[in-house]
Amino acid sequence: MTTETAPRPGDTSPPAEAPRDAVVAVGVTKAFGGRGKTRRAVDRVTLHVRRGEIYGLLGANGSGKSTLIRVLSTLLIPDAGEVRVFGRDVRSEELAVKRLINRVSVDASFFKKLSAMENLVYAGRLYGVAPGVAREKASRILRRLGIAEERVDEPLEKLSRGMQQKVAIARAFLTAPMLLLLDEPTTGLDIRSKREVQTFVRDLRDEHDATILLTTHDLDEAERLADRIGILHEGRLVAEGTSAELRARYGAGALEDVFMTATGTRLDDADMAEGPAT
């Protein structure tokens, strides 16, 4: 039997005898609405994300990807089910879980009048990273993400949407989290920037033993980055496996064909039908 001890203040390590799975979600359900019009954004989802892997959650806008990410990151409380992050329960051990994770959302918030560097140094201080250390790490990360040195001191409001998203990614990487939750991280980026971010995500996993859960509706991104892929449709996990396993299981030549067979619709068509992401 595995024995867990309470985390010490400031402790960012997983529990002693940490489990093989970084994330365990069992029967997770989250619904929204009222007055008899309740919609299950996440419907009895069960999944396991192994330590050190990149897990891609593929689905159309409105499939429940972002809602599930918010549950895993403790921003939403599930209506039913259980979630554990490195063995810690997201309900009863919320603060311990937060010390182990960081999250990048598709709509990152910043102090827009401050520069990229000022935002990153401020974020570092919130996580106990000294300003000098934060500035050095931020400079290195931003260079790897393709942001020129002369742009890092410009106000965020003067940077493009794509560049702001890169700064959001740099902010998450700054603290070297055990679990990184990336919610549509390359939305708004051009092809070159997407490739830079994708390469950096893989490097982070390989160099720092990070576990990454990535949501996307980009088939190429899922295939390029993820060790395993889960397909979410109308709040339910309808298929899961490596890209090769999914193609073999569904007799498909491409991941797009897998998605269509598993969900009954093409990803592009589902995106148009579903509307805003949830």
What's the pLDDT at 225? 92
- 201 Cβ neighbours under 8 A, 6+ residues apart: 54, 182, 185, 212, 214, 225
Kindly report, residue by residue over 117-172, the tens digit of the pLDDT: 998 998 888 878 888 898 898 898 888 888 888 888 888 888 887 788 888 888 88
Instruction: Look up residue 13 and give its two tokens.
Output: 């390590």
The CA–CA distances, whole Å, from 191 to 53, 239, 261 equal 24, 28, 28
Residue 268 has pLDDT above 80, yes or no: no
Task: Compute the average pLDDT of residues 200-214.
Answer: 83
**Domain residue spans of the chain:** 21-107+179-274
Q: What percent of the chain has pLDDT over 90?
A: 42
The Cα 251–Cα 273 span in angstroms is: 26
What's the pLDDT at 270? 60
Kindly report, residue by residue over 42-88, the tens digit of the pLDDT: 999 999 999 999 999 999 988 999 999 999 999 999 999 999 999 99
Residue 192 has pLDDT above 60, yes or no: yes
Contact 102, 208 (CB under 8 A): no
Instruction: Look up residue 257 and give its two tokens.
Output: 């064909």
Task: Compute the average pLDDT of residues 241-246.
Answer: 95
Q: What percent of the chain has pLDDT over 70?
A: 88
The pairing of beta strand 80-85 with beta strand 21-34: antiparallel
Residue in 272, 267, 270 with CA at minimum distance from that of residue 256: 267
Question: In what order do the strands lie in the sheet containing 54-58?
Answer: 101-104, 179-183, 211-216, 54-58, 228-233, 236-241
Residue 5 has pLDDT above 50, yes or no: no
Q: Which CATH superfamily is domain 21-107+179-274 in?
A: P-loop containing nucleotide triphosphate hydrolases (3.40.50.300)
